[in-house]
Chains A and B, each alone.
Chain A
Amino acid sequence: MSALGRFSQAHLDTMVKTDIRGKIRWGIAGIFALLFVSVIFVSPSSFNRGIDWVNDTIKLGLPRVPEKEFQLGLDLQGGAHLVYEADTTALTQEEKGSAVEGVRDVIERRVNGMGVSEPQVQTTKVSDAYRLVVELPGVTDVEQAIAMIGGTPILEFKEENTEPPRELTAEEQKQMDEYNADAKKRAQDILKRIKNGENIEAVAREVSEDQASKNNGGYMNYVGSNSAYTELYEWAVSASEGTTSQTLVESVQGYNILKRGAERDGGKEVQASHILICYLGAQGCNNPIYNKDEARAKAQELYNTANAENFEMLAKENSTDPSVSENGGDLGWFGTGVMIPAFETAVFQAEKGQIIGPVETDFGFHIIYKRDERTTKEYELWRILIQTQSESDIVPPQDTWKNTALSGKQLDRSEVVSDPQTGSVQVALNFDDEGKDLFADITSRNVGKQVAIFLDGNVISAPVVQTAIMDGRAVITGSFNVKEAQLLSQRLNAGALPVPISLVSQQTIGATLGSKSLTQSLYAGVVGVLLIMVFMLLYYRLPGLLSVISLSLYIALTLAVFKLIGVTLTLAGIAGFIMSIGMAVDANVLIFERLKEELKEGKSLKAGVEEGFVRAWTSIRDSNISTLISCVLLIWLGTSFVKGFAVTLSVGVLMSMFTAITITRVMLRFVVPWFHHHGNRLFLGGRKPRMEDLK
């Protein structure tokens, strides 16, 4: 019975032992599996290279692991960190919060249009001030980014100002008449002096009211036909060289006394007619009948049939130029600088009497009949000017454009549309209900007139309204490329900021500096870790080796966690992580030192290991807690540097508690049975207990 009992007890012991050994073996397997998985997760690209190699060599078709990159902070990948302060002084307490959220939304929309990967916009409240933190990783043109975030595009719609200018009051009229009468009298007096033989140059210096020529003795250089001095030119044509005007020459500016000098050949002028075939998408094409290819073909066909006799008829039948009904396509005489360049070049190069075409311009395809050509003359002129007043000098000139109630506020959505055939880029505007009504009103009262679209105070487009537009849609055609159009559309969509903001802090890191910092910190980290490992191996030998394995697992696992929970790695964060590696060893050191003591006291290796872990635990826990306390409070302190450091350090500390306790313990338990009861020199220089130690 007793023998049986002893047997079963021993049997039971072995069974339990095998059971525990088995568990430990599983634990070891688990550790390496964990290490393997974490390494793959941390560096999927190198693993995939391996997979690719295997697939290439033995055609296994193994799947690749998905690659996910570490999130790098702005200081490591370059980018901009902008802090804005919202000016909420004009708002009540309740409005402030929502206004700032509104600002955030607008900025977010503006930022999203910049093509920056993963931009972030956050609001923070600092005592009474509302701040917006904008992070733009990898942004290269910070200046433009800042301009886009801060700038408020103002979209306005204006119509032609048809209000008649104010009439002069009787008194103003009287004053003006008196002034002009006096001017005429003075001019006549001067004319007399010139007639009496006085030098016109000397008199001009003395009395001329033309500031530009006065100091040159009235000399105006050569005056051509298409200058602003039409009346003077007309006089010059009829006068001969060296003569002075015998009567006063009246111009818009006032009374002139003139002297003509030499004549010379000026620019060329041509007289031409044209037929325009416009197409969908061409500038100013109001009733497109053709697409671009069709328009070209039509123009070619017309060119083939056109001759000097039928040109006017063809123009009247086919030309899409709105003025054709009045002039039969005849553009009259014109000099250089009047027509658009493509047209001008073509018509000036053509022979007199030639019909050319089709000439492509922004307006469509033209067939041009060059009727005549002449060279104009230019004349040297001297003048004395006595100014007169006109109504516009007294009544301020009218603004060309008049405001309407329609603005960017009523804009519902804007998008870039481009004509697939012409490739011309347009920005389409869709108004909300209020805007739709306003736009309908504006277009119906302005048929045949221009309506101008102003952006930030500048006209960007002023199309002529053909018919009233009732569906609240409009397009802006201007000379912009796709990128500019997209930018405009995005800016219009983003709308205006509810409250003004000002940039209070900026941090911009160039990509080169970022990658340099990354390399430097990683290098420092690798060297630091190697130093730790060498130290642990030399000092603690076999347990040291175990702690090196445990440390490797710690590093891989912590990096995997960073990736998993999306910790943004900054320079400070890497510093925190590197420091946490040093601290992760702390738990091992505590345990090994305990183990050493337990062994010294004569405990068996196995008992020593278990005792060491139990006793060291309180110290490990307490020392990590105080670090965690600091970290949590640091995160609250809140700048990005601090957060980066504190987050990685606290994640590191938490992970180290796990790896040091669990991993190292499993491994120690695994290797302990390999050794003599009391360990050997591999084990912390352990030795058999001497008698005096046991006392």
Chain B
Amino acid sequence: MINFIGNRKISYVASGLLFAVAVFGLIAYGLKPSMDFTGGSVLEVSFTEERPAVPEVRSAVESALGNAVVQTSGDVSMIVKTRFLSEEEHQQLLDILRTNYEQGEQKVLEQRFETIGPSVSAQLKQRSMKAVVVVCIAIIIFIAYSFRKVSKPIASWKYGIIAVIALIHDVTITAGVFAFLGRFMNVEVDIPFVVALLTILGYSVNDTIVVFDRVRENLIRRNAEHFDETINFAVNETMARSINTTLTTLFPLATLFFFGGETIKYFSLALWIGIFLGAYSSIFVASPLLVTWNKFASRR
């Protein structure tokens, strides 16, 4: 049996540090919004013979359409990001690339073009915020409902609040990772990222619920005198389950990250981090907090 509860200071420090770094990242760098939220266009083209140099393409595009970000993608493709383009400008952009680089055998093939106007991106932004708020409220209501029956020795609302703290912990650190990724690797936060966060909200609360369920069960079966031990016992009992179910979910997410292609790479990463943290926090954060809170309350 591992003494999670006895060593809770270590996990508090670890989580506290991670949380602090994440909050620092979010405040100092912020998240880098993608065109889903700012509006803009992204064009992916592939070159059949030889891919031209990035700065060259960039200056060609910028001379006609203003600021552009040009990146390579895969072995033969290139991604050009610009402001919102109308269909004429889209064709103009393709024309520029074709007249400049279609020589001899070389063909420039359009793989993907996405453009999002300001009205759509504003709406996506607004909807995403709303969705985050609504999901949070729904999850809190659900937690409150799950724990409505137990009251001794901890009031049910306390379980709820701790579950929410664990969730905030998971989501904040995940977002923090993306703040750093955005700062140092230009990883952008898009609609899939929001989806990942909301999924994490729904999924990670599971682990906490399962552990708390067991706590509840043990508290009823055993007496509540040795509160720490009871909780530590519950955590140990559910640990295998938490780790195994998390692993079985993390496996496919990892393969998606590595092999699933660019579009869902960072989406999988966000889910991976969040789900990992969900399991971690149910063991190292949520359960110890129950004890700490109980101790604090009984001392008064």
Which residues of A are interface residues toward B (Cβ below 8 A)?
Answer: 75, 83, 85, 126-127, 129, 142-143, 146, 150, 503-510, 512-513, 516-517, 520-521, 523-525, 527-529, 531-532, 535-536, 539, 571-572, 575, 578-579, 581-583, 585-586, 589-590, 593, 596-597, 618-619, 622-623, 625-631, 633-634, 636-639, 641-642, 645-646, 649
18 extra interchain contacts, Cβ-Cβ under 8 A, other than A507-B114, A589-B241? A127-B123, A505-B116, A507-B112, A524-B256, A529-B252, A572-B195, A578-B253, A579-B252, A590-B245, A593-B244, A623-B210, A627-B206, A628-B202, A630-B138, A631-B199, A633-B138, A633-B198, A641-B191
Q: Is the CB–CB distance between A126 and B123 below 8 Å?
A: yes
Number of B interface residues in the complex (CB < 8 A) = 68
Known contacts being A508-B110, A527-B259, is A582 close to B131, with CB within 8 Å?
Answer: no
18 contacts between A and B (CB under 8 A): A507-B115, A524-B259, A525-B256, A571-B263, A571-B264, A582-B250, A583-B249, A586-B206, A589-B248, A593-B238, A597-B237, A627-B206, A629-B139, A630-B139, A634-B131, A634-B198, A637-B128, A638-B127
Does B135 sit at the interface, judged by CB under 8 A? yes
Chain A residues whose CB sits within 8 angstroms of the CB of B87 once the complex forms: 143, 146, 150, 503, 506
Chain B residues whose CB sits within 8 angstroms of the CB of A642 once the complex forms: 191, 195
Q: Is the CB–CB distance between B113 and A582 below 8 Å?
A: no
Q: Is the CB–CB distance between B263 and A517 below 8 Å?
A: yes
Known contacts being A75-B263, A582-B249, A619-B209, is A629 close to B109, with CB within 8 Å?
Answer: no
Contact of A641 among B111, B116, B192 (CB under 8 A): B192
Does B255 sit at the interface, judged by CB under 8 A? yes
**Residue in chain A with minimal CB distance to B45:** A510
Contact of A575 among B124, B237, B247, B256 (CB under 8 A): B256
Does B119 sit at the interface, judged by CB under 8 A? yes
Chain B residues whose CB sits within 8 angstroms of the CB of A623 once the complex forms: 206-207, 209-210
Contact of A629 among B127, B142, B250 (CB under 8 A): B142
**Residue in chain B with minimal CB distance to A582:** B249
Contact of A536 among B131, B201, B248 (CB under 8 A): B248
Known contacts being A510-B112, A582-B252, is A83 close to B120, with CB within 8 Å?
Answer: yes
Bound-state CA distance A91–B245 (Å) is 56
Chain A residues whose CB sits within 8 angstroms of the CB of B198 once the complex forms: 630, 633-634, 637
Bound-state CA distance A629–B253 (Å) is 21
Bound-state CA distance A583–B279 (Å) is 13
Q: Is the CB–CB distance between B201 and A630 below 8 Å?
A: yes
Q: Is the CB–CB distance between B256 and A629 below 8 Å?
A: no
**Top 8 A-B residue pairs of the complex, sorted by shortest distance between their CB atoms:** A528-B252, A630-B202, A582-B249, A623-B206, A504-B117, A528-B255, A524-B259, A531-B251
Q: Is the CB–CB distance between A572 and B267 below 8 Å?
A: yes
Q: Is the CB–CB distance between B267 and A575 below 8 Å?
A: yes
Contacting A at CB under 8 A, from B6-45, are: 44
Q: Is the CB–CB distance between A505 and B248 below 8 Å?
A: no
**Residue in chain A with minimal CB distance to B261:** A520
Secondary structure at the A interface, as helix, strand, loop or mixed, is helix
Contact of B252 among A539, A581, A619, A645 (CB under 8 A): A581
Bound-state CA distance A524–B260 (Å) is 5
Q: Is the CB–CB distance between A593 and B112 below 8 Å?
A: no
Chain A residues whose CB sits within 8 angstroms of the CB of B264 once the complex forms: 521, 571-572, 575
Chain B residues whose CB sits within 8 angstroms of the CB of A85 once the complex forms: 117, 119
Q: Is the CB–CB distance between B115 and A571 below 8 Å?
A: no
Bound-state CA distance A18–B198 (Å) is 49
**Residue in chain A with minimal CB distance to B197:** A630
CB distance from A444 to the nearest CB of B (A): 44
Known contacts being A571-B263, A639-B191, is A619 close to B210, with CB within 8 Å?
Answer: yes
Bound-state CA distance A267–B74 (Å) is 63
Chain B residues whose CB sits within 8 angstroms of the CB of A503 once the complex forms: 86-87, 117
Chain A residues whose CB sits within 8 angstroms of the CB of B205 once the complex forms: 626
Chain B residues whose CB sits within 8 angstroms of the CB of A510 once the complex forms: 109-112
Contacting A at CB under 8 A, from B200-229, are: 201-203, 205-207, 209-210, 213
Does B107 sit at the interface, judged by CB under 8 A? no
Bound-state CA distance A627–B205 (Å) is 9
Chain B residues whose CB sits within 8 angstroms of the CB of A143 once the complex forms: 87, 91
**Residue in chain B with minimal CB distance to A625:** B142
Chain B residues whose CB sits within 8 angstroms of the CB of A619 once the complex forms: 209-210, 213
Contact of A520 among B90, B116, B194, B260 (CB under 8 A): B260
Bound-state CA distance A631–B195 (Å) is 9
CB distance from A505 to the nearest CB of B (A): 5
Q: Is the CB–CB distance between B206 and A622 below 8 Å?
A: yes
Known contacts being A503-B87, A505-B120, is A622 close to B146, with CB within 8 Å?
Answer: yes
Interface code B260-279, partner A: CB below 8 Å = 1, 0 otherwise? 11011001100100000000
Contact of B195 among A142, A517, A536, A646 (CB under 8 A): A646
Does B134 sit at the interface, judged by CB under 8 A? yes
Bound-state CA distance A627–B200 (Å) is 9
Known contacts being A129-B119, A510-B109, A622-B146, is A575 close to B245, with CB within 8 Å?
Answer: no
Bound-state CA distance A642–B249 (Å) is 19
Q: Is the CB–CB distance between A521 and B213 below 8 Å?
A: no
Q: Is the CB–CB distance between B249 and A513 below 8 Å?
A: no
Q: Is the CB–CB distance between B267 and A627 below 8 Å?
A: no
Q: Is the CB–CB distance between B255 and A634 below 8 Å?
A: no
Contact of B109 among A126, A512, A589 (CB under 8 A): A512
CB distance from A359 to the nearest CB of B (A): 44
Known contacts being A129-B119, A513-B44, A524-B258, is A629 close to B206, with CB within 8 Å?
Answer: no
Chain B residues whose CB sits within 8 angstroms of the CB of A509 once the complex forms: 111-112
CB distance from B183 to the nearest CB of A (A): 25
Chain B residues whose CB sits within 8 angstroms of the CB of A634 once the complex forms: 131, 135, 195, 198-199
Chain B residues whose CB sits within 8 angstroms of the CB of A517 once the complex forms: 261, 263
**Residue in chain B with minimal CB distance to A584:** B248
Bound-state CA distance A127–B123 (Å) is 9
Chain B residues whose CB sits within 8 angstroms of the CB of A593 once the complex forms: 238, 240-241, 244
Bound-state CA distance A529–B111 (Å) is 30
Does B60 sit at the interface, judged by CB under 8 A? no
Contacting A at CB under 8 A, from B147-195, are: 191-192, 194-195
Contact of A504 among B120, B252, B263 (CB under 8 A): B120
Bound-state CA distance A264–B272 (Å) is 88
Chain A residues whose CB sits within 8 angstroms of the CB of B128 once the complex forms: 637
Q: Is the CB–CB distance between A622 and B209 below 8 Å?
A: yes
Bound-state CA distance A504–B206 (Å) is 40
**Residue in chain A with minimal CB distance to B42:** A507
Chain B residues whose CB sits within 8 angstroms of the CB of A629 once the complex forms: 135, 138-139, 142, 202
Contact of B261 among A142, A571, A582 (CB under 8 A): A571
Chain A residues whose CB sits within 8 angstroms of the CB of B91 once the complex forms: 143
Bound-state CA distance A628–B202 (Å) is 8
Q: Is the CB–CB distance between B135 and A633 below 8 Å?
A: yes
CB distance from B252 to the nearest CB of A (A): 3
CB distance from A93 to the nearest CB of B (A): 20
Bound-state CA distance A638–B210 (Å) is 30
